[in-house]
């Protein structure tokens, strides 16, 4: 087990009807906040009204930044920073999933930075100040509601990059599973694939002798799968939804990463190029890329891939190579079973497009922990995705 520091100060308020507690929490630090949200679903499902009612009862003023889109972009962040400064807000509330939370984190850090906050993503600025951030989660996927990370796409340069800061942990995140009852099944499925990918990026980073973390990882994957299977048939099953919501948060709140070597993150690096160039959903992109990456690298730690097959799918692991391969196929089959694409052709990307994706992804190569990937490796993995 590797050395680590674990410190996660986010307060989680979990359960039905808990959005009503938001106003009191926010009023502890803020008098006027920026509400950041997406393209209107929160107005249809009642979440917006619940937030506004709670803020009003604690006399918290607010201005609004709507229309944050999936694969959120830097220009929208700039708009948010300008608005936050003009209106002199002293806090930000993200109402949504990873896109709105990550946009909010970036606005909250950019508020205090004189340069272009993109500097934080390209490693030229360490975000050490931030407005207080609050979250009302409406889709479980990224885990951003309980960590200090954010991913943003610079649409001019077509780069989808991330930053992380100890100052960017939300103060409070409200997780009401019932607000996800109305999600289209494909969004639940995308979220599930994203959560599983976070576990596997950490799990398959080559670190040995971390039983407690492996146990936790395998337990999250099993729970995400079992809960998603139930939700595909009955999207309003409360306990299945609650298990999925909390599992997706635990998948990337830091605990699962303790004692490891930081995770591999190659699949994310490649997928980010895919979604930056083609605007496909991150979860769908991961369902395509991750099994291909697993197939390409599994011989680097075949024992662990066999263990995964055994613990998640009950496959006999005595023949490790066989078990590893079967486990990867079963994962792919499962993605298919919940309606996700598992090949580039499923999302209408053909062999001729591969060079363009390689070009974008390889700008940061080499990357990866289990196997350091060069440009040529990325190309081979993408060929496995066809």
Residue 54, sorted as left (phi over 0), alpha (psi -120 to 50) or beta, turns out to be alpha
Answer for which of 66, 219, 235, 339 binds a copy of itself (CB under 8 A) is: 219
Tell whether residue 215 is a contact of a copy of itself (CB under 8 A).
yes
Q: Kindly tell me which of 242 and 349 has the beta carbon lying closer to a copy of itself.
A: 242
Tell whether residue 46 is a contact of a copy of itself (CB under 8 A).
no
Q: Kindly tell me which of 62 and 334 has the beta carbon lying closer to a copy of itself.
A: 334
Answer for which of 52, 63, 232, 255 binds a copy of itself (CB under 8 A) is: 255
Pick from 50, 64, 59, 41: nearest CA to 21: 50
Instruction: Spell out the alpha helix ranges (H) of 251-297.
Output: 266-278, 282-297
Query: Taking a C-beta distance cutoff of 8 angstroms, is the pair 93, 135 a contact?
Result: yes
Tell whether residue 128 is a contact of a copy of itself (CB under 8 A).
no
Answer for which of 12, 35, 252, 324 binds a copy of itself (CB under 8 A) is: 12
Q: Kindly tell me which of 176 and 377 has the beta carbon lying closer to a copy of itself.
A: 176
Give the span between the Cα atoms of 353 and 3, in whole angstroms.
Answer: 42
For the chain, how big is the Rg over CA atoms in Å? 20
Q: Kindly tell me which of 250 and 338 has the beta carbon lying closer to a copy of itself.
A: 250
Footprint on residues 224-253 left by a copy of itself (CB under 8 A): 226-227, 238-239, 242-243, 246-247, 250
Tell whether residue 133 is a contact of a copy of itself (CB under 8 A).
no
Q: Please report how close the Cβ of residue 291 comes to a copy of itself at its closest, in angstroms.
A: 23
Footprint on residues 258-317 left by a copy of itself (CB under 8 A): 258-259
Query: Taking a C-beta distance cutoff of 8 angstroms, is the pair 54, 20 a contact?
Result: yes
Tell whether residue 359 is a contact of a copy of itself (CB under 8 A).
no
φ, ψ for residue 234, nearest 5 deg: -135, 90
- Residue 174's CB is within 10 A of a number of other CB atoms, namely 29
**Location of structure tokens 């409360």:** 238
H or E segment and range at residue 231: helix 211-233
Tell whether residue 4 is a contact of a copy of itself (CB under 8 A).
yes
Pick from 249, 134, 282, 268: nearest CA to 180: 249
Tell whether residue 122 is a contact of a copy of itself (CB under 8 A).
no
Tell whether residue 222 is a contact of a copy of itself (CB under 8 A).
yes
Q: Please report how close the Cβ of residue 320 comes to a copy of itself at its closest, in angstroms.
A: 20
Tell whether residue 14 is a contact of a copy of itself (CB under 8 A).
yes
- Compute CA distances 110 → 72, 76, 84, 126, whole Å: 15, 12, 10, 11
- The size of the interface with a copy of itself (CB under 8 A), counted in residues, is 41
Q: Kindly tell me which of 1 and 351 has the beta carbon lying closer to a copy of itself.
A: 1
Q: Kindly tell me which of 27 and 258 has the beta carbon lying closer to a copy of itself.
A: 258
3-state class (DSSP) for residue 174: strand
- Residue 276's CB is within 10 A of a number of other CB atoms, namely 23
H or E segment and range at residue 384: helix 375-384
Q: Residue numbers of the site for a copy of itself (CB under 8 A)?
A: 1-16, 18, 208-212, 215-216, 218-220, 222-223, 226-227, 238-239, 242-243, 246-247, 250, 255, 258-259
């Amino acid at each position: 087990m590797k050395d680590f520091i674990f410190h996660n100060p986010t307060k989680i308020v979990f359960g039905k009807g808990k959005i009503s507690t938001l106003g009191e929490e926010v009023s502890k630090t803020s008098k006027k906040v920026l509400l950041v949200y997406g393209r209107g679903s929160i107005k249809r499902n009642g979440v917006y009204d619940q937030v506004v009612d709670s803020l009003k009862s604690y006399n918290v003023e607010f201005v609004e930044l709507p229309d944050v889109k999936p694969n959120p972009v830097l220009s929208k962040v700039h708009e948010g920073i300008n608005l936050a400064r003009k209106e002199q807000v002293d806090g930000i509330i993200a109402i949504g999933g990873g896109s709105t939370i990550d946009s909010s984190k970036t606005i909250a850090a950019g508020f205090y930075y004189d340069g272009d906050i993109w500097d934080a993503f390209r490693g030229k600025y360490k975000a050490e100040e931030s407005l207080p951030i609050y979250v009302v989660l409406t889709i479980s996927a990224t885990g951003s509601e309980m960590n200090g990370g954010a991913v943003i796409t610079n649409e001019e340069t077509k780069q989808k990059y991330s930053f992380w800061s100890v100052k960017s942990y939300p103060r409070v995140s409200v997780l009401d599973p019932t607000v996800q009852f109305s999600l289209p099944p494909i969004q639940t499925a995308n979220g599930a694939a994203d959560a599983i990918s976070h576990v596997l990026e950490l799990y398959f980073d080559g670190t040995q002798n971390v039983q407690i973390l492996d146990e936790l990882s395998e337990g999250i994957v099993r729970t995400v799968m079992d809960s998603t299977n139930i939700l595909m048939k009955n999207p309003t099953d409360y306990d299945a939804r609650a298990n999925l919501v909390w599992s997706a948060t635990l998948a990337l709140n830091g605990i699962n990463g303790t004692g490891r070597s930081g995770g591999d993150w190659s699949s994310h690096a490649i997928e980010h190029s895919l979604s930056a160039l083609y605007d496909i959903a991150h979860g769908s992109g991961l369902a395509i890329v991750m099994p291909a990456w697993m197939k390409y690298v599994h011989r680097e730690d075949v024992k662990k891939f066999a263990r995964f097959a055994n613990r998640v799918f009950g496959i006999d692991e005595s023949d490790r190579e066989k078990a590893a391969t079967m486990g990867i196929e079963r994962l792919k089959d499962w993605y298919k079973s919940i309606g996700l694409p598992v090949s580039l052709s499923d999302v209408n990307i053909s062999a001729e497009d591969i060079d363009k994706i390689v070009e974008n992804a390889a700008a940061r190569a080499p990357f990866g922990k289990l196997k350091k990937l060069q440009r040529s490796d990325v190309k081979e993995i993408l060929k496995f995705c066809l």
